[in-house]
Amino acid sequence: MTDEQLEIIKQGMEKGIPLRQTILDEGWVDKLSPETVRPIRKAFINKYGDAEFRRLIDIVHPSLATDIGNAAKAAKRAAKAALKGEKVFVDRATKIERLETCLSCPLLSGKDATCSMCRCNVRKKVRFATEECPAGKWKKQVVDNQ
């Protein structure tokens, strides 16, 4: 990818056009696949930085950017707990209890098990001792981990 091509991708994303659509429309790839898209995305992030990529993703896919942000924050909390020797994962019974609460919660989007309050995939979120329900329906099991 040349700097000029990356700039075209950037201008497209500023208007809400996904990176994948631009590279296909411009004829820079024959077909979309992880093998064709990944190196271009990497070149883009190398040039403009991760924060700028997230800002642009937020324009193209608002909820996806939030998911990325939430996942990164959750990973940071779990890593912090592990470093302090605290519990990272809940036991099986707690996981099932939390998941049952989420699966019967009106705030859950059934299609992909995403909580409409925190935008997290609850099937993953319930496993972590460091996570809690934003509506107070279940609590984290690690104290003072913010």
Contacts to ligand SF4 by CB under 6 A: 101-102, 105, 107-108, 115, 117-118, 122, 133-135, 137
Q: What is the smallest separation between the CB atom of 118 and ligand SF4, expressed in angstroms?
A: 6
Spatial separation of the C-alpha atoms in residues 36 and 34, rounded to whole Å? 6
* CA-based R_g, the chain, Å: 19
Nearer to ligand SF4, 124 or 137 (CB): 137
**Token digits of residue 31:** 């077909």
Q: Calculate helix-pair angle for 50-60, 3-14, nearest 10 degrees.
A: 40
Nearer to ligand SF4, 17 or 74 (CB): 74
Q: What is the smallest separation between the CB atom of 56 and ligand SF4, expressed in angstroms?
A: 28
Q: What is the smallest separation between the CB atom of 75 and ligand SF4, expressed in angstroms?
A: 17
Q: What is the smallest separation between the CB atom of 87 and ligand SF4, expressed in angstroms?
A: 19
Nearer to ligand SF4, 40 or 142 (CB): 142
Spatial separation of the C-alpha atoms in residues 8 and 26, rounded to whole Å? 9
Nearer to ligand SF4, 11 or 116 (CB): 116
The torsion angle over the Cα atoms of residues 97, 99, 103 and 107, rounded to 10 degrees, is 110
